[in-house]
Structure 1
Amino acid sequence: MLLALNFLKRISRNMSVFVQRLNAMSGVNDWVVQSEDYDFHQEVARSAFADMLHDTERNQLYEAALKSAIKIIHSKGAKANVLDIGTGTGLLSMMAARNGADTVTACEAFKPMSDCALKIIARNGFKDKIKVIPKRSTELIVGKDLQHKCNILVTEVFDTELIGEGALSTFKHAHQELLEKDCIVIPQSATIYAQVVESPLTQNWNKLKHIFSDDGEVLIKVPDLIKNCVGSAAVHDMQLSQLPASSINTIISPTPVLKFDWSGNTPFIFERSTISTTKAERDGLAQLVFMWWDLQMDTDGKHILSCAPDWAHPLKKIDKNAKIPWRDHWMQAVYYLPKELPVNKGQEISLISCHDEFSLWFNLVDNLRITDEHYLTPFCECGAHVASSRTRIGQLNDMTRNKKYLALLEKYVNKESTILVLSDCFYCSLAAVKLGANKMYVLETNSLSRRVLENYIAFNKLDNVEIIPSLEELSKINFKDISMVLGEPYFLSSILPWDNLLFIYLMKGVRNYLSNDVQIFPKRASIKAVAMHFSDLHKIRSPLSVGEGFLMKDFDELIEASRNLSDENVEPQPLWEYPGVALSGIEEMIDLDLMNVPTKTYLKNGTFELQGNLDCNGIAIWVDWNLDGTERGIITTGPTSPIKIGENVQWDMYTRQGVCLFPDRNTKCINYKFEFDFDDGNVSFNCS
């Protein structure tokens, strides 16, 4: 009791709080002691501020437009009064000040960033030239916060979907309340481009497929409700430049479909639809829309910021070897068409592009068959697109993985088999019943995924499958009847690759009730890692130091402190989207026998021996699952081909790997420490 009281006094003195955090591996809610400012530190750490500030082209185009606007205002004999909405670090405000703005007012509603902006502005000598107001722009009042209306607006309130951060309402309010009528706005306008394509590879992230045997027999059919579902309208951010060119068949080339005028010269419309009628360029099955946008930064259209993928970028028209700017804060997006449309070359078709205040959606129809329904927002009715992430749907469609599970089932399942499945959304496992299993129990605790599973069971007429909705209900089954325990393993709560080791904690709970001769699959799991040089990904975690000539030390310190307080060293990333070269051989952190898991804490210290001349800026981590103890039974969540030092790594496209990022290190070795506490299910990885 005395120890507990001393502990409470200590955290009270340090102004700490208890934060409840789900341990994805053990499945238990842990209480963790954190700083009382944990919430905003987490928000700072997860923001895209650093990534944006590393975007040199973005920064330079904003400054060029500011310089032009200030010059135009001064040429009229007026003072240049600049309003910077969402100033962040104050970068754009300082650009305005050094280019001759007479007054600069910056607003930033996120208090940690407005405080940081004040420090950066003072450090760079603009304390008396820039006024920072810790408010939303919609809360500003002329005569109170602003002495007068401004004649230049500069802002960056855009996301991958362009309008998802409320750009329309932000610009409209500014024009109504904060700006003069003949003001200059930076940027002036935006154009959204759409490209209609056939891409079965990309469609794997959206449409669930039947599960086939090697001889082509359909073992598990996708229910009609799921098969015919229009899917989700949610944007799917993606680095489109990394898709194989061979996976894309263009039906309609990139086409401007929506224009947004930020200048205030035309009314702001919050809901709108356009129709682009054209002819199909190729035969194919129109499945999805690739989308991106560009910004006209200045009044003359001399400065254009484009978010186009590699094949459509304006720089490529000038120089086919040009390296286009890398961005992670503004990627391209995929929108899945509500219904696939077979088309023939030369066929007239209509692309419908719609938006509301915050989002976009698209449809493609035969020009003679357009109805009001084609303008409606797609809405998932089957539940599968809500229960499962895009990544998970891709996994479920991965035939390479599925064939290995089917080979396992064909080898071990017989008419006496009673199977317990410990995985979420593992529809492939249902094939065991079609292969003759006597009985199957499936633990499915999530209500949404349970609904989808029920649909699969009913549609495929699998009468001998019983869903167990909770761990309490699981305890009531007759474990002595179980002859096989099967896991993918995959769980909805998983974030990092090793989180799916929740399987061993579920097994721990039931192992003593099972017979001694029960078969358990998978049998092993190996956590592996490789040292990497990423071309760009490391920028999202790299300090800025100096940005466009401005000292950014205060920002770097804020980001670093926030990450240390709120973030783990390892984060999930779909590494296929981020090119990187292997600098070392594979290091195995741990190889686990899933039927005989250790109870003591496991600790390994090791070294990545680096080769080549490239700097190391990250460690990639994944898990290899061995289903049956053979080489053929290995399912990887990492490289899909052997790693060759000095060459790009080809990553599995349907999982997210773990990655530990850091600034470039010019060294010959990276030391690491890997620790696995089996008692509480915590894994830590650190390198130095």
Structure 2
Amino acid sequence: MISLIFKALIDPSSSLLRIAQFALTSHSKPFTRVRPMSSESSQQVFQLKVDPLTGNSEWVVIREDEEEAFGNSHKNLLATTSYLDMLNDSTRNRAFRDAIDKTITKPCHVLDIGAGTGLLSMMAARAMGSGEPTSADTKGMVTACESYLPMVKLMRKVLHLNSMGRNINVISRRSDELKVGVDIPSRADVLVSEILDSELLGEGLIPTLQHAHDMLLVENPLTVPYRATTYGQLVESTFLWKLHDLYDHEAKASDGVRLLPTGMDTILRVKLQQHPMHCDAISKEIKLLSEPFKIFEFDFWKRPDSHRESELLIKAIDDGRVHAILSWWMLQLDHEGTIFYSTAPRWITKASTGNWCDHWKQCVWFLPGKGICVGKGEQLLFRAIHTDTSVFYNLATEHTELGQYNHVSGDFHLILPPERIAIYGDSKWRFSMLTALRNALQERVQPLCVVADDSIFLTLIVANLSKTAHVISLFPGLREMGVKYLQRVADANGFTADRVKVFQNKKCLTLHDTNQKKVDLLIGEPYYYGNDGMLPWQNLRFWKERTVLDSVLSNDVLIMPCKALLKACAMSLPDLWNSRCCLSKIEGFDHSIVNTTLGACGELPPPHDPPLLPFFIWQCGEIKELSERLTIMEFEFSKPISPCYGKVQVDFSETGVCHGFVLWIDWVMDASNSVVLSTGPDERYWKQGVKLLAQPVAVKTNGSTASEYRYAVIEASFDPSSGELSISHAFT
């Protein structure tokens, strides 16, 4: 992850940044991270291989000439990115085609930054009908700049398939490394690019445009897009409030644990940023408190500023409490303003149909605490500030002042994802954990308890419940941050910091570490810091760590959770399936060659199989459950980690079209099965795993007389050496 962030800072125009953000926030698996080398060594990458069950990692150098190894190694990575979803966005593709055809009307030099598969480059070449330029003539020339080597290799295949390889000059280098007279013969007349994320600026739009205008483009160039405008709207939403205000929700808890003690209400919080989210999915839980308002305009055709501020007076249209600011953007792709693309929610666009896509969402900015109470007609002062890569918001009424957000603060803050904040503030979840732990601690005198994961909640609650317990927290992800946090909140939770020992970077505890005492209680949520984009069963790392600790566990050790259940449900997921289906021609250009590499669904030659990907199912557009929720296999934590196999028949309870199977883990906290924590589709704070079908299948209930399939059989196997779960299915 560190290499991706570093790469993002020095190479904002690279498609790698899209992969980095996707890895952190959406589908990407943790197995691979990549970093292209610069200059002469740009034809090799470092790939970080991570074992999800141990957290161990190693760098592997992959060179361009290592064709077979390279192809195998980067396939899974590209299959978990947003490229396929983006290329399936027909509204986006049509808008760019129309704008490019309208803008490029004669031979010229076109520069495509962050070229990806080369789609925009091919559109530009076709628009001007360019042939192969000579070295002295840049008219009719397209330069495609893409620094991410796996994508460069894929682009060249796409260009060859479409007989465009001689029309487009592919440069595998960062755009800020290009030099006129060295890499390109002259400044470009036209810039085409799509280096936008849900926030707009996160892929480095501003520094990329600044360098391009300074060094690579003619004065007053033509650009596609022409302009981007960001918009906002004030909303009330209890759901959004729960995602960030742990302090007020924790105050209602009766368990005595305070993750945010009084006076330390910022020591644990979400990051001050815009958080991407499909807001259409919660439209019925949102109360609009303002009309949409314009925030910033960014012109692609001129050099942008790194820093700007905007202040507006916004009139409340209803009584309520502002919990969040929703934002989106609109692209004006042509100079005249006739071609647009918007990421606005559907209550703005008034569209009942259209492409559901996951590569761009709306964004949510959380207001601190309980939000701001407003009355209908009241004026609010809104301030926005943008940097090179981020936007920050602030809001106040005539009775309050604009708060001061320290974007870079010297004070210690433990930053957690919004979903983790909501879990820690959920009274039902806390009560379940409290009940399970209270039962576990009964009749145990001076127990030695090991918290195997990154659960600060379990660490605090054990120390709070048992004044005689000795607690060891491993904090494999939090590490020093976990130590600092405990030191600051210990007193407020009724124990001294020396009662909890944290072993940082400790791969395995020994009896020397425990003062020759065996572990009586091994617990976890399980939760591992930084692994929020992982598949649900990759938290079976807890089982692996239980196995590593086997030699220090007492004979009557109590393990919590005691086991895990792999659950599954057949579902109709038309929007998600359509966003990841096979590509054929995109605006006239054949992209069929990318399907296997990008993990598409469809009739592809064996052994291709769509990958298992993590999604928040509730955000996946139209969804419908077609079967009961079934248990495929059990993972028994009383025994060391081992291979597992399960097989189950799925009977359809609803007639419809099945697009895949949704899988998740239910954690059984106690041996009596009285406390079970589910991460299934109803629980919106966890991602589920999705296994999409190659082709949708019509299914029916047993009482139906139609010819559709009546049931399916799912088989699953778990490999403890890799943490991989293999899923196969058959319909009958």
2:246 is the alignment partner of 1:208: yes
Query: Relative to 1, partners in 2 of residues 1:459 and 1:129: Cα closer, same or farther, differing over 3 Å?
Result: same
Contact conserved, 1:210 with 1:222, CA < 8 A, in 2?
A: no
- Show the 5 A alignment for 1:123-272: 123-142=161-180, 145-146=183-184, 148-209=186-247, 216=254, 218-220=256-258, 222-224=260-262, 226-229=264-267, 231-246=270-285, 248-264=286-302, 267-272=303-308
Percent of aligned pairs with the same amino acid: 27
Corresponding residue for 2:382? 351
Any idea what SS the aligned residue of 2:567 has? strand
Any idea what SS the aligned residue of 2:367 has? strand
Amino acid paired to 2:480: S
Q: Distance in 1 between matches of 2:526 and 2:74?
A: 34
Q: Distance in 1 between matches of 2:163 and 2:46?
A: 40
Amino acid paired to 2:525: E
Corresponding residue for 1:273? 309
Corresponding residue for 2:330? 294
Q: How far is 1:146 from its partner?
A: 4.7
Corresponding residue for 1:657? 688
Any idea what SS the aligned residue of 2:104 has? helix
- Show the 5 A alignment for 1:582-597: 582-595=625-638, 597=639
- Show the 5 A alignment for 1:16-27: 21-26=49-54
Amino acid paired to 2:364: V
Q: Distance in 2 between matches of 1:153 and 1:410?
A: 63
Amino acid paired to 1:161: E
- Show the 5 A alignment for 1:529-678: 529-539=568-578, 541-560=580-599, 569-579=611-621, 580-595=623-638, 597=639, 601-606=643-648, 608=650, 614-630=656-672, 632-639=674-681, 651-666=682-697, 668=709, 672-678=714-720
Contact conserved, 2:596 with 2:608, CA < 8 A, in 1?
A: no
2:341 is the alignment partner of 1:305: yes
Contact conserved, 1:289 with 1:337, CA < 8 A, in 2?
A: yes
Contact conserved, 2:455 with 2:524, CA < 8 A, in 1?
A: no
Corresponding residue for 2:560? 521
Contact conserved, 1:395 with 1:655, CA < 8 A, in 2?
A: no
Contact conserved, 1:487 with 1:522, CA < 8 A, in 2?
A: yes
Any idea what SS the aligned residue of 1:253 has? coil
Q: How far is 1:609 from its partner?
A: 5.3
- Show the 5 A alignment for 1:402-551: 402-411=430-439, 413=441, 417-419=445-447, 420-422=449-451, 423-428=453-458, 430-435=460-465, 437-445=467-475, 446-463=479-496, 465-469=499-503, 470=506, 471-472=508-509, 476-477=513-514, 484-492=521-529, 494=531, 495-510=534-549, 516-539=555-578, 541-551=580-590
Q: Structure 1 regions of 5+ residues with no counterpart?
A: 1-15, 640-650
2:115 is the alignment partner of 1:84: no
Q: Distance in 1 between matches of 2:406 and 2:83?
A: 34
Amino acid paired to 1:301: G
Q: Distance in 1 between matches of 2:393 and 2:158?
A: 43
Contact conserved, 1:96 with 1:104, CA < 8 A, in 2?
A: no
Query: Relative to 1, partners in 2 of residues 1:366 and 1:474: Cα closer, same or farther, differing over 3 Å?
Result: farther
| Length, aligned pairs only | 641
Q: How far is 1:57 from its partner?
A: 0.4
Q: Distance in 1 between matches of 2:446 and 2:319?
A: 48
Corresponding residue for 1:687? 728
Query: Relative to 1, partners in 2 of residues 1:454 and 1:283: Cα closer, same or farther, differing over 3 Å?
Result: farther
Calculate the TM-score normalised by the size of structure 2.
0.77
Q: Distance in 2 between matches of 1:512 and 1:213?
A: 40
Contact conserved, 2:255 with 2:431, CA < 8 A, in 1?
A: no
2:359 is the alignment partner of 1:329: yes
Q: Distance in 2 between matches of 1:566 and 1:259?
A: 44
Amino acid paired to 1:222: L
Q: Distance in 2 between matches of 1:43 and 1:603?
A: 26
Amino acid paired to 1:450: V
Q: How far is 1:149 from its partner?
A: 4.4
Q: Distance in 2 between matches of 1:658 and 1:151?
A: 46
Residues 234-243 or 501-510, more deviating: 501-510
Any idea what SS the aligned residue of 2:246 has? coil
Contact conserved, 1:415 with 1:437, CA < 8 A, in 2?
A: no
Amino acid paired to 1:533: S
Q: Distance in 2 between matches of 1:438 and 1:613?
A: 57
Amino acid paired to 1:466: V
Query: Relative to 1, partners in 2 of residues 1:104 and 1:630: Cα closer, same or farther, differing over 3 Å?
Result: farther
Any idea what SS the aligned residue of 1:623 has? strand
Deviations 1:129-182 (A, max 9, x none): 444343444444455555554443321111112122222233333334444445
Q: Distance in 2 between matches of 1:227 and 1:122?
A: 58
Amino acid paired to 1:365: A
2:391 is the alignment partner of 1:360: yes
Q: Distance in 1 between matches of 2:459 and 2:515?
A: 20
Corresponding residue for 1:9? none
Corresponding residue for 2:420? 392
Q: How far is 1:342 from its partner?
A: 2.9
Amino acid paired to 1:287: H
Q: How far is 1:410 from its partner?
A: 4.6
Residues 114-123 or 138-147, more deviating: 138-147
Q: Distance in 2 between matches of 1:240 and 1:378?
A: 28
Corresponding residue for 1:342? 372
Amino acid paired to 2:88: H
Q: Distance in 1 between matches of 2:679 and 2:58?
A: 27
Calculate the TM-score normalised by the size of structure 1.
0.81
Q: How far is 1:671 from its partner?
A: 5.2
Q: How far is 1:113 from its partner?
A: 3.0
Q: Distance in 2 between matches of 1:384 and 1:528?
A: 32
Q: How far is 1:62 from its partner?
A: 0.9
CA RMSD of aligned residues (A): 3.8
Any idea what SS the aligned residue of 2:309 has? strand
Q: Distance in 1 between matches of 2:356 and 2:204?
A: 24
Deviations 1:448-487 (A, max 9, x none): 1232233332222324842332444775336768654443
Any idea what SS the aligned residue of 2:568 has? strand
Q: Distance in 2 between matches of 1:660 and 1:634?
A: 24
Contact conserved, 1:82 with 1:104, CA < 8 A, in 2?
A: yes
Contact conserved, 1:637 with 1:652, CA < 8 A, in 2?
A: yes
Amino acid paired to 1:64: D
Q: Distance in 1 between matches of 2:468 and 2:193?
A: 64
Deviations 1:603-626 (A, max 9, x none): 335554567665443322111112
Q: Structure 2 regions of 5+ residues with no counterpart?
A: 1-43, 63-67, 131-139, 699-708
Amino acid paired to 1:574: F
Q: How far is 1:211 from its partner?
A: 7.8
Amino acid paired to 2:723: N
Corresponding residue for 1:4? none
Q: Distance in 1 between matches of 2:686 and 2:462?
A: 24
Query: Relative to 1, partners in 2 of residues 1:263 and 1:223: Cα closer, same or farther, differing over 3 Å?
Result: same
Q: Distance in 1 between matches of 2:282 and 2:683?
A: 13
Q: How far is 1:261 from its partner?
A: 1.3
Deviations 1:228-278 (A, max 9, x none): 3575234422111112522x34344321111111122xx521111111122
Q: Distance in 2 between matches of 1:111 and 1:86?
A: 12
Corresponding residue for 2:23? none
